[in-house]
Amino acid sequence: MKKIIITGGAGFLGKFVVKKFEENGYSIYVPRSTEYDLRLEADIKRMLQEHPCDMIVHLAAKVGGIGYNLEHPAELFYDNLMMGVQLIEQARLAGIKKFVAVGTICAYPKNTPVPFKEEDLWNGYPEETNAPYGLAKKMMLVQSQAYRAQYGFNSVFVLPVNLYGPGDNFDLRSSHVIPALIRKVLDAKKNNKDLEVWGTGNASREFLYVEDAAEAIYLAAERYNGSEPVNLGCGREIKIKDLVELICKLTAFQGKINWDETKPDGQPRRCLDTSKAQEKFGFKAKTTLEEGLKRTIDWYLNDEKTQQICF
């Protein structure tokens, strides 16, 4: 299976996934939104006719941080649901041999016991601020298992934890935790201002370096053919307060930190049980959080496009 389509292959995670597959001899097509609207059945049919393949890796998603989720819940639900449902159905009809569906940790219930085990996915409703997005992506798991049961369609479902790394989205209107904090800290340092941070700092998160995530997705595509969901993470959590202090240390920011407790923390804790990924396809994260943050900060400070947008 050496001809594949990687949706979202031009995005943050997608560029690293494309590179990983190319290094291993795959022929890759990355669809662009200007050519194909992946929410539309007709466009997906046309894409598969014009670019026949053996496998689809579905990374494309409409996504954002807490603020973006609060402002755009309907778009996040509809766009992500329609992309996943239509792609899996048309892939089946086209006779594609394997479909790798990339979900999200937001699919887990709000109060899942830590560490999150795949068996806990259906034990409650997701955290409210990102439930529409999380549930839309979670439907790919339902569809994958149903299609395997009825049609024998080989579709696998993986759940990455929060990602970060060079090339991330640093736009404060839609960025996730780490890029948003890096930008805020460096802006505060540059302008000699206090650092303003949402929430109490007591929530915890787990973060996976983007190159490790790409490795995990590649290994799942190569080695895993099961119907059960699999977590992708490093298995270690950090409180947001400690994360902010670490970023301040790495950027030499010594100003005051103001916590806006009127803003939501999001899900109280996030940390995955990652044993199944190691057991099923041999994945274990390699990059420490501090090393990954150093690389991300260095990239941000040295990227000309980022400087034009952010400063």
In sequence order, what E strands does the chain have?
3-7, 27-29, 55-58, 98-102, 155-160, 162-164, 195-198, 204-205, 207-209, 230-232, 238-239, 257-260
CA 77 remoteness from chain centre: 16
Q: Alpha-carbon dihedral of residues 213, 133, 78, 167, nearest 10 degrees?
A: -40
Whether the predicted pLDDT of 310 surpasses 50: no
Question: In this predicted structure, what is the pLDDT of residue 306?
Answer: 52
Whether the predicted pLDDT of 307 surpasses 60: no
Smallest CA-to-CA distance from 244 within 189, 162, 184 is with 184
Question: In this predicted structure, what is the pLDDT of residue 154?
Answer: 98
The answer to whether the Cα torsion of 301, 64, 79, 156 is positive or negative is: positive
Cβ-count burial 191-203 (b if 16+ within 10 Å, e if not)? eeeebebbbebeb
Question: In this predicted structure, what is the pLDDT of residue 266?
Answer: 78
Per residue in 203-243, pLDDT (tens digit) is 999 999 999 999 999 999 999 999 999 999 999 999 999 99
pTM of the model: 0.91
Question: In this predicted structure, what is the pLDDT of residue 115?
Answer: 94
Instruction: Quote the mean pLDDT of the chain.
Output: 93
Instruction: Give the Cα separation of 110 and 95 in Å (integer).
Output: 37
**Catalytic residue numbers?**
133
Whether the predicted pLDDT of 175 surpasses 90: no
Question: In this predicted structure, what is the pLDDT of residue 207?
Answer: 96
Per residue in 22-67, pLDDT (tens digit) is 999 999 999 999 999 999 999 999 999 999 999 999 999 998 777 7
CA atoms within a 13 Å half-sphere pointing along the CA-CB vector of 178 = 28
Determine how many CB atoms are found less than 10 A away from the CB of residue 62: 17
Mean pLDDT is lowest, of 95-99, 175-179, 283-287, for: 175-179
Residue with tokens 């780490």: 178
Whether the predicted pLDDT of 270 surpasses 90: no
Question: In this predicted structure, what is the pLDDT of residue 1?
Answer: 62
What percent of the chain lies above the pLDDT cut of 70?
97
pLDDT band at 311 (very low <50, low <70, confident <90, very high): very low
Write the CATH number of the domain with boundaries 3-310. Answer: 3.40.50.720
**Is the distance from CB of 236 to CB of 289 less than 8 angstroms?**
yes
Whether the predicted pLDDT of 70 surpasses 70: yes
Question: In this predicted structure, what is the pLDDT of residue 19?
Answer: 97
Whether the predicted pLDDT of 201 surpasses 70: yes
Which H or E run contains 298? helix 289-302
Mean pLDDT of 175-191: 93
Whether the predicted pLDDT of 132 surpasses 70: yes
Question: In this predicted structure, what is the pLDDT of residue 296?
Answer: 97
Segments making up each domain of the chain, as ranges: 3-310
Question: In this predicted structure, what is the pLDDT of residue 12?
Answer: 95
Pairing of strands 162-164, 98-102: unpaired
Instruction: Give the Cα separation of 212 and 222 in Å (integer).
Output: 15
DSSP 8-state class, residue 272 = B
In sequence order, what E strands does 9-154 have?
27-29, 55-58, 98-102
